[in-house]
Amino acid sequence: MISRRSFVALGGVLVVAACRTAAPPVAWQSPIGKEHVLAGRIWDVPRSRFVDEATASARLVKAHYVLLGEKHDNADHHRLQARVVQSVFAAGRRPAIVFEMFTSAQAAALARHLAERPRDAAGIAEAVNWKASGWPDWAMYQPIAAAALDAGAPIVAANLDADQVRAVRRDGVAALDRAFVARYRLDTPTPPDVERAMADEIRDAHCGHAPDRMLPGMITVQRARDARFADVLRDASADGGILIAGGGHVRNDRGVPVFLRHATPDPRVISVAFLEVDTGRTHPPEYGARFGGTLPFDYVWFTPAASDEDPCEKFRKSLERLRR
């Protein structure tokens, strides 16, 4: 689930690490906070310090899995994701680009399109009926796909489809393959503190409109999705994978990294979250309040905000339908 404040995502910055060339400055498209002191800066969370793109790049190109968390409607997040992808390819890597936005039901159509038109990133939208998906305009994601296709890297669908989500919400992990459940320990009860935190996060993301009776099923779906993303990343390419997903999915404390560690002894995973700045917060650790106290990522790349509109008001009518 994605916090309404923005689950954001981690900007992995990559400049060609080999030559350590300075990356061009970012021309922000998001309008709120362009002059904020943190906009454009990268915070190394474990080391509690700012780093430049070249330093972050040097680490990211060595990771087998790079997880790039985003706020879906922020165009700058997608541009920075494309920048990361291009930098990894420039270093000689060819990981798969794994998209949360494509479901298993779209995988065949995606594969057919890429087999027939292997360099046609723009045509992916029509091939998978993107307009009906509910995601932001494909134009935001197209540069990421174009970078992958130009480099000859695979693009892979990662998400559960609608029927699978309904089945998991109704029947729990019994709706999933037994081997998959065992591999990612989905049959192990979620620790109470984690379950409470996830429930609070879902309530917040749904502006208080998610009924308590629905929360257990929604938590199970969230965990199943994260495990699915981990499973796809492991199988997508011998050269690893880059995940394009909402920021909540790349959390080190309970997201995809946890499930990668379940299945792989040393997954060499780095999570990067692109995070929108707040006017009243100028020190990176202050943003940990959005995530229960501390920043649960390896890197945070701060960006301006796409909008200052209250999402609870924006989506009020659709959220109210949850209670019916």
Q: Alpha carbon of 18 to those of 61, 113, 141, 285: distances in Å?
A: 10, 34, 27, 31
Does any domain span residue 16? no
pLDDT value, residue 323: 54
Task: Give pLDDT tens digits for 228-254.
Answer: 999 999 999 999 999 999 999 999 999
Task: Give pLDDT tens digits for 299-313.
Answer: 999 999 999 887 676
Task: Give pLDDT tens digits for 156-168.
Answer: 999 999 999 999 9
Task: Give pLDDT tens digits for 21-55.
Answer: 566 778 999 999 999 999 999 999 999 999 999 99
Instruction: Name the β-bridge partners of 156.
Output: 98
pLDDT value, residue 261: 95
pLDDT of 258 above 50: yes
Q: How many domains, in total, are found in the chain?
A: 1
Task: Give pLDDT tens digits for 185-219.
Answer: 999 999 999 999 999 888 888 888 788 899 999 99
Does any domain span residue 4? no
Does any domain span residue 13? no
- DSSP assignment string, 201-247: HHHHHTTT-S-GGGHHHHHHHHHHHHHHHHHHHHHH-TT-EEEEEEG
Count CB neighbours of 127 within 10 A: 17
- Consecutive H or E run containing 42: strand 42-44
**Going edge to edge, which strands form the sheet with 299-303?**
49-51, 42-44, 299-303, 269-276, 65-70, 241-246, 96-103, 155-159
Name, in order, each residue with C-beta under 8 angstroms of 216's C-beta and a sequence gap of 6 or more.
Answer: none
CATH number at residue 133: 3.40.50.11550
Does any domain span residue 1? no
Give the C-alpha separation, 135 to 160, whole Å: 15
pLDDT of 169 above 60: yes
Mean pLDDT of 73-77: 97
What angle is formed at CA 127 by the lines to CA 126 and CA 131, rounded to 5 degrees?
40
Count CB neighbours of 37 within 10 A: 12
Instruction: Name the β-bridge partners of 245.
Output: 69
Does any domain span residue 14? no
- State the Rg of the chain over Cα: 19
Are 304 and 36 within 8 A, CB to CB?
A: yes
Strands 49-51 and 42-44: antiparallel
Does any domain span residue 288? yes
pLDDT value, residue 8: 34
CA dihedral 184, 185, 189, 193 (to 10 degrees): -50
pLDDT of 13 above 90: no
Does any domain span residue 281? yes
Lowest-confidence region among 17-26, 138-147, 306-315: 17-26
Q: Work out the pLDDT band at 134, boundaries 50, 70, 90.
A: very high
- Consecutive H or E run containing 100: strand 96-103
Strands 42-44 and 299-303: antiparallel
pLDDT of 6 above 70: no
Mean pLDDT of 149-161: 97
Give the dihedral sign, CA 199/202/206/211.
negative
Which domain range does residue 234 map to?
Answer: 42-323
Instruction: Name the β-bridge partners of 274.
Output: 301
DSSP state of 25: P
- Name the token pair of 164: 């699978």
Mean pLDDT of 70-75: 97
Task: Give pLDDT tens digits for 90-112.
Answer: 999 999 999 999 999 999 999 99
pLDDT value, residue 308: 85
pLDDT value, residue 318: 60
pLDDT value, residue 104: 97
Does any domain span residue 25? no
